[in-house]
Amino acid sequence: MFNQEDVVSNQWSAQVDTKQSETAQLRSIISMFIAAQPVGIGWDQTAGSENATPQEAPFARQGRALVNDFVMNFNDRETVNTSLSFQGTGGLETV
Amino acid sequence: MKRGQYIRLLLAPVNYDTEVVVAAAKQMSLHGTAQTEESSTKDTTGDDLEFEVTSLGYEITGSALVITEDDSLNTNALPFFEFVRSLKNQVFNWKICVMEGDNNRTIVEEIAHGQAKLTNLQAQAPNKQNTTYNYTLAGYGPIVPGTSSQNTNANSGD
């Protein structure tokens, strides 16, 4: 009745929603998308100014990923809601 | 972006000089998608798959409010949409810009530009004063990230 299948490969993805108020960031997202090349991506705890300093937490991981989807919602006057999706390529490694 | 600035879509059929400013009455979105495929075949248990991009595409969707009783807009925005509707397979130049000033007609900086074809146009609940158009523009060729600091005036209705 029930299938019994083996896991033959791994893949991963990531998705993040942000509010952007700097147009340079929006242009960077577009540039990253049209380059169609893997970018470095990290998953970590952060601290410091604007929470931008990775802490290399025990659970931290890093890898390479393709931007496979982005949405910019121009709903507000001063901010743009963005959603970015990444398709991991290769493994996720410890930092 | 500073307080009081707006983001607008500017549209013009290819070979036309006049751009129409399309305000985002409710929302406007730029949505890019990449098709990917496995770049190698792995048959060992536990292997991590690798991918590559095979094609890129995007679309712009939004809604624009047109006030039909405003003479200044009648000469621009509404005829523009009627004109658009009459066209088939027309390629449009588009720009998404940060704008400010009187009626938000001064381009502060460009976020991106490109070309697109109109694939959907819907008039929503028209009444005596207002019609909201929902539109979809399918990307035709690449998106080009804009450059900052332009400060030029654009034409037409909100």
- List pLDDT tens digits, range B3-49: 888 888 888 878 777 777 776 666 899 999 999 999 865 555 568 89
Asked whether B66 and B130 are in contact (CB, 8 A), the reply is yes
Cβ contact, residue pair A78, B33, below 8 Å: no
Q: Is B18 on the interface with A (CB under 8 A)?
A: no
How many structural domains does chain B have? 1
Over residues A67-90, the mean pLDDT reads 91
How many structural domains does chain A have? 1
Task: Look at residue B92 and tell me if it is in a domain.
Answer: yes
Chain B: residue nearest A71 by CA? B31
- Using CA atoms, how far residue A28 sits from A22, A33, A58, A67, A85, in Å, is 10, 9, 30, 12, 15
DSSP B49: P
Q: Is B143 on the interface with A (CB under 8 A)?
A: yes
CATH number of the domain that residue B22 is part of: 2.40.30
Task: Look at residue B16 and tell me if it is in a domain.
Answer: yes
Owning domain of residue B102: 6-35+51-152
Range list of H helices, chain B: 71-74, 77-86
Q: Which of residues 33-92 of A touch B (CB under 8 A)?
A: 33-34, 36-37, 66-75, 77-80, 87-92
Residues of chain B with pLDDT under 50: 69-76, 156-158
- The predicted complex's ipTM stands at 0.88
Task: Look at residue A77 and tell me if it is in a domain.
Answer: yes
Task: Look at residue A31 and tell me if it is in a domain.
Answer: yes
Determine the distance in angstroms separating the CA of B114 from the nearest CA of chain A, rounded to an integer. Answer: 12
Task: Look at residue A28 and tell me if it is in a domain.
Answer: yes
Task: Look at residue A6 and tell me if it is in a domain.
Answer: no
Give the number of other Cβ atoms within 10 Å of residue A34's Cβ: 19
pTM of the model: 0.84
Picking from B5, B27, B56, the nearest residue to A75 by CB comes out as: B27
Task: Look at residue A1 and tell me if it is in a domain.
Answer: no
Owning domain of residue A90: 13-42+57-94
Identify the bridge partners of residue B118 per DSSP, sorted by sequence position. Answer: B137
Task: Look at residue A51 and tell me if it is in a domain.
Answer: no
Picking from B36, B44, B62, the nearest residue to A68 by CB comes out as: B36
Look up residue A30 and give its two tokens. 């577009």
Task: Look at residue A7 and tell me if it is in a domain.
Answer: no
Picking from A27, A31, A89, the nearest residue to B50 by CB comes out as: A89
Task: Look at residue A62 and tell me if it is in a domain.
Answer: yes
Between A21 and A25, residue with greater pLDDT: A25
Q: Is A19 on the interface with B (CB under 8 A)?
A: no
